[in-house]
Amino acid sequence: MSNSNLDFEKPIMELERRIRELESKSQERHTDLLALQQMRETLHNLIGEIFSKLTAWERVQVARHPERPQTQDYLASIFDDFVELHGDRYFQDDPAIKSGLARIDGRTAIVIGQHKGKDTRQRLAANYGMPNPEGYRKALRLMKFAEKMRFPVICLIDTPGAFPGVGAEERGQFSAIAVNLMEMARLKTRVIGVILGEGGSGGALGIGVVDRLLMMENAWFSVISPEGCAAILFKSSDKEKIAEAAEALKLTSTDLVRLGVIDEIIPEPVGGAHRDPRRAAQTLKTILTRHLVELEAMSLEEVLEQRYKKWRSIGEVTRDTA
C-alpha cells in the first residue's frame, strides 16, 4: 500500500482509506468480514482496471514514483554478497553509479546500476541519478575487468539522463558516453541490461549497449524526456503538450518491444512495482536468470554476432525511389 499517490491513483487511495477505517472498526465491533473482503476484491479490480489503461505520460509518472524500487533495492533482494567497487582511476568516484561484484544463483557477475537515492540527502549525493563522466568511466573499468575474468555484466538502468553541468562537460561527458558505446559493442563477455524506471537518452545508453535489453512494465526509454520534447517541439510546459509528446515518443515497454528495441517486458505486480517490491524483485530475478542461462549456452562468437545484429537492426531507412 503506497503512501505517495499519483493523480490517477486517487480513487485507489480513497478506497484504501475506507478499507483501513473498516479494518479498525472490525477489531472493535466485529464488523462484517464478508463486506471487508468484498471491498478488498473491489480494490484489487480497481487497481487492475486503472493500471491497464495508463497513458504513456502516466507510465512515466509511475516510473518516477518516489517509492518505486531502485538499484539499491534490487541489489539487496536479487543479488548475494555484493561488494561495491569505487572510482574511475582518473578523477573521483561517482555515487550516481553503484557497481561491484555480486552473485546471482551461484554465478559471479559484475553489476552496474544507476542510483537515484531514497531521501534528499542521498539524492543530492547521487545527483538525482544523473551520472557524471567519471561514473561512466567507472562502469567501463568494471566491464573491462568482467571481460578479463569472463564474468557476465548486468546493467541496471534508471536515470533521467547524464548530468549536463559545466563541470561534467569540461571533464568529457560526451566522450565518456561515446567510448562506452564503442567498447560495449565489442565487449567480449555476456551483457544484460534492465531498464528499471527511467531510461533517459545517452545517460541510459552509456551502460545500455547489451546483448539482451529487458524493461520493467512501467518503465520508459527514450532519446528525450516528454518535458524536454514538449519544450522543443511545442515551446510549452503545458501538461497536455507533455502528454502528447509522451505518446509521440513511443517510450513505453509495449511500444519498444513492438519496435524491436527491447527484448522482453518484465511484468510488474498489479498497481506497479512500488506496491509490491518483493514480488517485482522475484519476477525480475527469474527472467534475468533465464537470459543469463541462455547466453551462457551460446559461444562468445555467437553472442557478439547477435549483439551486432541486434543494434544494427533497430530503426528503419526509407528511400525515395522516384
The answer to whether residue 317 sits within a structural domain is no
Residues 280 and 163 in one domain: yes
Residues 32 and 118 in one domain: no
The candidate with the shortest Cα–Cα distance to 7, out of 231, 192, 243, is: 243
Residues 150 and 17 in one domain: no
Single pTM value for the model: 0.89
The whole-number pLDDT of residue 315 equals: 80
Residues 90 and 149 in one domain: yes
The answer to whether residue 206 sits within a structural domain is yes
The answer to whether residue 2 sits within a structural domain is no
292-318 per-position pLDDT tens digit? 999 999 999 999 999 999 999 988 766
The answer to whether residue 138 sits within a structural domain is yes
Residues 44 and 64 in one domain: no
Residues 104 and 248 in one domain: yes
The answer to whether residue 156 sits within a structural domain is yes
The answer to whether residue 321 sits within a structural domain is no
Full domain range(s) for residue 117:
60-312
The number of folded domains in the chain is 2
C-alpha span between 20 and 87 (Å, rounded): 48
Q: Is pLDDT larger for residue 253 or for residue 38?
A: 253
C-alpha span between 263 and 281 (Å, rounded): 18
SS3 per-residue string spanning the chain: CCCCCCHHHHHHHHHHHHHHHHHHHHHHHCCCHHHHHHHHHHHHHHHHHHHHCCCHHHHHHHHCCCCCCCHHHHHHHHCEEEEECCCCCCCCCCCCEEEEEEEECCEEEEEEEECCCCCHHHHHHCHHHCCCHHHHHHHHHHHHHHHHHCCCEEEEEEECCCCCCHHHHHCCHHHHHHHHHHHHHCCCCCEEEEEEEEEEHHHHHCCCCCCEEEEECCCEEECCCHHHHHHHHCCCCCHHHHHHHHHHHCCEHHHHHHCCCCCEEECCCCCCHHHCHHHHHHHHHHHHHHHHHHHHCCCHHHHHHHHHHHHHCCCCCCCCCC
Residues 85 and 224 in one domain: yes
The answer to whether residue 1 sits within a structural domain is no
Residues 14 and 76 in one domain: no
pLDDT tier for residue 26 given thresholds of 50, 70 and 90: low
Which of 17, 36, 53 corresponds to the end of one domain?
53
The whole-number pLDDT of residue 1 equals: 45
The answer to whether residue 322 sits within a structural domain is no
Residues 48 and 192 in one domain: no
What CATH number does residue 185 fall under?
A: 3.90.226.10
Residues 26 and 66 in one domain: no
Q: Is pLDDT larger for residue 168 or for residue 8?
A: 168
The whole-number pLDDT of residue 129 equals: 93
The whole-number pLDDT of residue 30 equals: 56
Residues 36 and 163 in one domain: no
Residues 28 and 73 in one domain: no
